[in-house]
Amino acid sequence: MTKEKLEMILLSKLQAPEIKTKTLRRERLLNLLSKNLNKKVISLCAAAGYGKTTLLYQFLSSKKIPNIYYHLEKTDAEPAVFLEYLVAGVRKIIPNFGKKTEGLSRYFNSPQKYREIIIGTFINEIIESIKKDVFIILEDYHLLDSSEQIDKILEYILEHLPPHLHFIITSRTKPSMSLLLMRARDELFELTTQHLRFTKDEIRHLFGKVYATPLKEPEIKWVERYSEGWPTSLRLILQSFDYSEDVISFEQVRKVLESHRESRSTVFNYFAEEIYNRESKEIQQFLIDCSVLEWVTPGLCDTVTGRSDSANILSRLTDRNMFLFRIPQLGYRFHNLFRNFLYSKLSDINRGKRIYHRAANFYSRENQLEEAVKFYLQAEEYDKAASIIERIGYNLIEQGKSAIICSYIEQIPSSIHDQQSELLILHGRSLLHSDRFDEAKNIFLKTAKMLKNCVRNRAKHASVLNDLGLINLEQGKLSVAKNWLNKALNICPRSAKITKSAILGNLAQLNFYLGMSSKNLSKITECFEKAWGLVKKDPHMSHLAILNNWAIIEQSFGNIKQAYPKMHEIVEYLEDNYDPHCGVAFFNAANTSLSLGYIKEAKSILDSGIKVCTPYNDQLSMASLWLGYARLNQELGDIVKAKQFVHKSLEIFEQIGIGRNIINAHQRACKIHIKAGDLNGAEKHLSRIWDLKKSIADMESISPRLLEAELRIVQGKFNESKEILLDLLRLAQKYKLIFKLFSIYIELCKVFYYQEKMSETTSYLKQALNISHEKGYDYLLSKELQKEKWMLPKIMRENIEKKYIMSIIKKSKLNIHWVDAFLFNVPRIFIDDYEIKDRLWETIKAKKLLFYLLYQKDEKITFDSIISVFWPNASHASARFSLRKARQHIRKAFKSGANKFGDLIEFNKDLYQITPKVSIALDTEEFQSLVTQAKKLEIRDGNLESCLRRAISIYKDGFAVGWYDAWVEELRQYYNGLYEECLKMLADFYLRKNKFNEVILWYKKLISLNFYEEEYHRKLMKAYAKLEKYKKMTQDFEKLKDVLKKELGANPQKETTNLFKSLIK
C-alpha cells in the first residue's frame, strides 16, 4: 500500500477501543461467546447502550484471539472504502496481504459487474495467507444504513467463507443481509437485546461489588423491572453519583428511575446533562467543539479548540468515565449517544463552521485529504474543497470511488461548480464510471461550451468532445458521435498524444459500426495505426483497449493473420498486469493461434492465462480458458480431455448465465462429439443451443447453423445441409463475413461432392481456396485436406490453386501425401504428383497387387482373398512369402517417389488395407460418379453434356489395357457397360437437340462397341436421313445385313428393315 493510500486510511477505525470505566465483567455472556468461537458468524444485535462495545472489549482482552477490528461509519457504505479498510485491517497482522485485491479496487466503480471477482480474490488471498483462526470484527454495522452493496459483499464472503475466518458483527438493528443459510447450518451465533439485558445477579454484582452499594433482593427485582436491564441506564445512574459526595441509596435510584421512565433517550439525556453540568464551562465548550469529530486525537482537538492541553483533558475525562473510549496509540472515540448529546448543543452555526474549517486545515496538513474535503464542505469552503477534489479525484476514481467523487462535487453549489472546467470534467468522468451517461453528457456539453473559445485549453476541450463522442457511440447514436469525434480530432493538439489516441480509437470503432466494407476497413486500419502509434511506447490497460478493438475488428473482416500479432501483444502485457475477464483475451489469442496452426504457442498462451487468472475469483476468465483447452485438446486428438474441459467450461458459463458464452461452449462440445463420432451427443448440444437462441436469421446465428450443417453432412442428410448452407451463404455475403464464407464454401463443396455433383463441388472448392489464399487460412485448409481425402487429388487434377496448395504442404509440418491411380488405359500411379514409372516396379504382380488394394481402398482384404487372386496354386507358406516380397517392392517403388513416405499398406491379423492417412484418387471413382450424376440430370440440362464428355474422356481406351487377370476382366466388363451407357446418353442428348452430326459420331462409337445392337443402327439411320446422307445410311444397313448373315445366319429385325425402307424413299 502506497504512502498516499495509507494517508487516506484512518487507522483509528482499525483499532479496538479500551474500556477503563467501572464495568461489570459479564461472565455469563463471555462464556457464551467462548463456547461459540467455532461459529462462522457471531452477531451482537441490540439497541444503543446495551454494552456491545464493552462486551467486545472484555472478550478480546480475555481471549487474546487474533482479530481485525473495523469500526464502521456511514462513508464505509461505499464498496471501495469498505474493501480498502478490510485489506488495511488484515495487513495489521499480515503486512503484505491483499496486493491482488488492492489492484482491483478501481473496478468498484462498477460494483455489480466486478463484485464477485474482487471479493473472490480477497477470499483467495485470505486462504493463501491465513492458516489459523482470525476474527474480523465489524462494529456498528447499522451505520451503513442497510447498504445493499455491502450486504451483497458480505453475503458473498459468508457464502464462500474460508475455514479459518470468522466474523463478529455488532449492530443496533438486525443486519439486512441474509443469514438464513448460516442459521440453518448452525454456523451463526446471535446475542440479542434479551441476552444483553442485565440479569438480577448482574445487577446485584454491579451495585454491590463494582459500586459498593449492596441491594436487597426485592430492591434488585424492582431495579431489574424498571430499568429493563438496560446497562447504560444503570451505569448513568451510578456514574452520576460519582460527582456527589452522598452515599448511593436504593431510594435515590428508585426516585431517578421513576422520574425518567418515558424513554431511554430521555434517561440518557437526563443523566448526560447531569454529568455535563458538573464540568467547568471550559470543559463543556471543549466537549461541544470536539463533538463534530468522529475520531478524536489530542492534536486534532488542539487545532479545533485553539487549546494546547487537549491531551491532559482527554486523559482526565477518560479516567472519569465520560463515555469516551481510548483507541490505543491513536486517540479516542465518544460513545455515539454521548456524542449526539453534545452535538445537539452546538447551536452557534458560525462557530461550527470555524471548527469544521480548523479540522479541515488539520487533515489537509496531515495529508488526509479525503477527511479534509469532508470538513471543508461542512465549513462551506467550497473553493478549498474543489481544489482538493481536483487534486485527488482521478486517484479516487482509480480506487473505485467514483460515487464518492460525485457526492463531494454535488455538495458544491452550481454557481461555483459550473465555473470550474476541471471540476466539471472530473464530475463528468465520475458519472461515466457510475454509468450515469445522460447526466455525464449534460456536464460535458456544459464544459464544451465553456472551453469552446479558450485556445489555451484545446487539449482539454478535445478530451471533453471525445467523451461526448464516446457516450453517443455507446448509446448507438452514430451520426452524433461522428460529429463530436471529428470535432475533437480537428482541435486536438499534436502534443496531447493520449487524448488524440483515444479519439482515433473511438473513430475506428465508429467506422466499424457504420458498416463492414473495404472502404471502411481502410479507414478503421488508418485510425487504429495512428492511435496505437501515439501510445505504443508506453502502453497501459486503457491503451490496450485500442489494440484489442483493432484485433477484434480485423477478425470480423476475416483477417486472422493481422489480428494475431495484436492479440499476442495484449497477452504479453496481461501476463504482468491482470485485468478482470482478461482470460477472454488469452482465449482469443490462443484460439487465433490454433486457427493459424501454432499449437505449442496456443498451449503456452492458455498456460499463462491460467497462471494470471487463478489467484483471482474470475469465473468468466477461467471458463474461457477451459474452453480454450477444450479446443486445444481437440486439435491434439485427445477427445477425452477435450470433453472434460468443455464440460468444465460449460458448467461455469451456465452458473454465470451469459447466454453467448453458453452457446459458444455448446458449439465446441458439439464439434468434439462430432469428432468422437458421438452424433447423439452432438445433437443434444445442438438442441440446447436452439433452446437458448431463438433467432436463425441474425449474424450471431451463422456459427450454430453452420455447425448444424456440418452435423447433417456427417449424418448423411445432404439436402438438409445444403439448404442450411445456401441460406447461410446469403447471410454471410450480406454481412461480409469472410471467415464464415470460407467455412460455408468448404462445407458446400463437401455436400455436392457426396451428392456426386462435381461441377458444383469444383465451383465452391475454388471459392474456398481463393479466400484461403488471400487471407492465409493455410492451416485450416490443410486440416480439411487431411480429413477429406478426395479433396487434394481433385485440386491437383483440376489445377485449382495448385501452386498455393503445394506451398501449404511444403510449409506445414503435417505429413500430407496424395496418390493418383489411373486404371483406365494403361494403369499408372502418381505419388505427390510424381509418377512411379514401370522401371521402378521390380515385378508387374506387385503393381497389380497395389491396384487391387487401391480399388478396394475402403475395405480390409483378407490374406486368403489376396492369395486366391494372385497366388492360387502356391502353398500357404510360399504365398505368404510372395505377398511379403510384393509389399516390399511396393514400398521401395513409393519411397523412390516421395520423401518421408511410410507404408502405403497397413495390415493387422491377416487383414490388409490401404492406409487412410493418404488421400487416394481413383479415376474409376470419378468416372462412376460422373455416370451416376448424368443419370440424375434432366435430358435438357446443359450440365449433362459436359458431365458425359468428362466421363467419356476418363474412360479413354478402356479398363486396365494390357492386363487380363480374372479380377481385371470382371471389372473391365462392368466399366465397358457404363461407358456404353454414357455414349448412348450423349448420343440421345444430341438427337433431342437435333445435332445430327454429333448423333452420327456417337452412335458410330456405340456400334463399334456393340455392333449387334440394332437400336444403335436405327438411330444412326435417322440421323443420316435428317442430313440426307442416304448413301451412308444404305452402307450401314447393308453392312448390318452382311454381318448378321455371315456371323449369326440371321436377318435384321423387322423394325430395322421397315425403318430403312421408310427413310430411303
Chain segment 575-587, per-residue pLDDT in tens: 998 988 999 999 9
Q: State the average pLDDT over residues 316-320.
A: 80
Give the Cα separation of 638 and 644 in Å (integer).
10
Q: By the 8 A CB rule, do 999 and 1006 touch?
A: no
For 126, list phi and psi in degrees, rounded to 5.
-60, -45
Q: Which three cell numbers stand for residue 320?
A: 472519569
Which residues, at least 6 apart from 655, have a Cβ–Cβ distance to it below 8 Å? Answer: 619
pLDDT value, residue 500: 92
Which among 879, 814, 894, 815 has a CA at the least distance from the CA of 847?
Answer: 894
Give the pLDDT band of residue 245 (cuts 50, 70, 90). very low
* Chain center to CA of 520: 27
**Whether pLDDT at 206 is above 90:** no
Q: By the 8 A CB rule, do 403 and 380 touch?
A: no
Over residues 639-655, the pLDDT tens digits come to 999 999 999 999 999 98
User: If DSSP codes are grouped into helix, strand and coil, which group holds residue 178?
Assistant: coil
Q: State the average pLDDT over residues 6-11.
A: 66
**Whether pLDDT at 557 is above 70:** yes
Over residues 459-474, the pLDDT tens digits come to 999 999 999 999 999 8
Give the Cα separation of 793 and 13 in Å (integer).
78
Give the Cα separation of 249 and 793 in Å (integer).
114
DSSP H helical ranges for 575-618:
583-595, 599-613
Other beta carbons within 10 angstroms of residue 462's beta carbon come to 25
Exposed/middle/buried for residue 42 (C-beta within 10 Å: 0-12, 13-18, 19+): buried
Q: What is the DSSP string of 1036-1056?
A: HHHHHHHHIIIIIS----HHH
Least confident interval from 606-610, 787-791, 971-975, 1046-1050: 787-791
Which among 224, 161, 222, 235 has a CA at the least distance from the CA of 198?
Answer: 224
Which CATH fold would you assign to the domain 347-451?
A: 1.25.40
Q: By the 8 A CB rule, do 183 and 40 touch?
A: no
Residue written as cell 505377398? 883
User: If DSSP codes are grouped into helix, strand and coil, which group holds residue 452?
Assistant: coil
Exposed/middle/buried for residue 54 (C-beta within 10 Å: 0-12, 13-18, 19+): buried
Q: By the 8 A CB rule, do 534 and 505 touch?
A: no
Contacts 24+ apart (CB under 8 A), 749-752: 749/791, 750/713, 750/788, 751/713, 751/718, 751/721, 751/722, 751/725, 752/722
pLDDT value, residue 103: 85
Over residues 917-927, the pLDDT tens digits come to 888 889 999 89
**Whether pLDDT at 3 is above 80:** no
Answer positive or negative: Cα dihedral of 145, 149, 150, 155. positive
pTM, two decimals, is 0.77
Spell out the SS3 assignment of 53-75.
Answer: HHHHHHHHHHHCCCEEEEECCHH
Over residues 518-547, the pLDDT tens digits come to 677 788 889 989 988 888 887 676 778 888
Residue 595 exposure: Cα atoms within 13 Å on the Cβ side: 21
Q: By the 8 A CB rule, do 497 and 542 touch?
A: no
Give the Cα separation of 1029 and 225 in Å (integer).
138
CATH 1.10.10.10 fits 817-969, yes or no: yes
pLDDT value, residue 1065: 66
Give the Cα separation of 390 and 380 in Å (integer).
17
Give the pLDDT band of residue 263 (cuts 50, 70, 90). very low
Other beta carbons within 10 angstroms of residue 147's beta carbon come to 21
Mean of all residue pLDDT scores within the chain: 88
Instruction: Please give the DSSP secondary-structure letter assigned to residue 939.
Output: T
Give the pLDDT band of residue 178 (cuts 50, 70, 90). confident
Which CATH fold would you assign to the domain 578-694?
A: 1.25.40
Over residues 691-709, the pLDDT tens digits come to 998 778 788 899 999 999 9
Stated as kind and residue range, the H or E segment containing 329 is none
**Whether pLDDT at 242 is above 60:** no
Give the pLDDT band of residue 243 (cuts 50, 70, 90). very low
pLDDT value, residue 256: 56
pLDDT value, residue 359: 95
CA dihedral 425, 430, 431, 437 (to 10 degrees): 80
Higher pLDDT, 435 or 1019: 1019
Best mean pLDDT range from 311-315, 499-503, 630-634: 630-634
Across-strand partners of 192?
Answer: 45
Give the Cα separation of 311 and 377 in Å (integer).
27
Between 1.25.40.10, 3.30.70.100, 1.20.970.10, 1.10.287.3510, what CATH number should domain 465-566 receive? 1.25.40.10
Alpha-carbon distance values, 422 to 132, 390, 425, 444, 865 (Å): 49, 7, 5, 11, 92
Q: What is the DSSP string of 883-922?
A: HHHHHHHHHHHHHTT-TT---SEEEETTEEEE-TTSEEEE
Give the Cα separation of 430 and 413 in Å (integer).
18
User: If DSSP codes are grouped into helix, strand and coil, which group holds residue 834?
Assistant: strand
pLDDT value, residue 237: 64
Give the Cα separation of 289 and 386 in Å (integer).
25
**Whether pLDDT at 2 is above 60:** no
Q: By the 8 A CB rule, do 504 and 527 touch?
A: yes
Which among 208, 211, 188, 189 has a CA at the least distance from the CA of 200?
Answer: 208
Give the pLDDT band of residue 193 (cuts 50, 70, 90). confident
* Chain center to CA of 588: 9
Stated as kind and residue range, the H or E segment containing 981 is helix 966-992
Domains 347-451 and 465-566 belong to one CATH topology: yes
Higher pLDDT, 874 or 899: 874
Higher pLDDT, 753 or 147: 753
Give the Cα separation of 76 and 72 in Å (integer).
6
For 712, list phi and psi in degrees, rounded to 5.
-65, -35
Q: What is the DSSP string of 776-827?
A: T-HHHHHHHHHH-TTHHHHHHHTTSSHHHHHHHHHHS-S---EEEEE-BSS-
Where are the chain's structural domains? Answer: 3-196, 202-278, 347-451, 465-566, 578-694, 817-969, 994-1065
pLDDT value, residue 1006: 94
Give the Cα separation of 451 and 462 in Å (integer).
9
Over residues 42-91, the pLDDT tens digits come to 999 988 778 888 898 889 888 888 899 999 998 888 888 999 999 999 99
Q: State the average pLDDT over residues 378-385.
A: 94
Give the Cα separation of 368 and 439 in Å (integer).
30
Report the CATH number of the 3-196 domain. Answer: 3.40.50.300
Over residues 389-438, the pLDDT tens digits come to 999 988 888 888 888 999 999 999 998 888 899 999 999 999 988 888 99
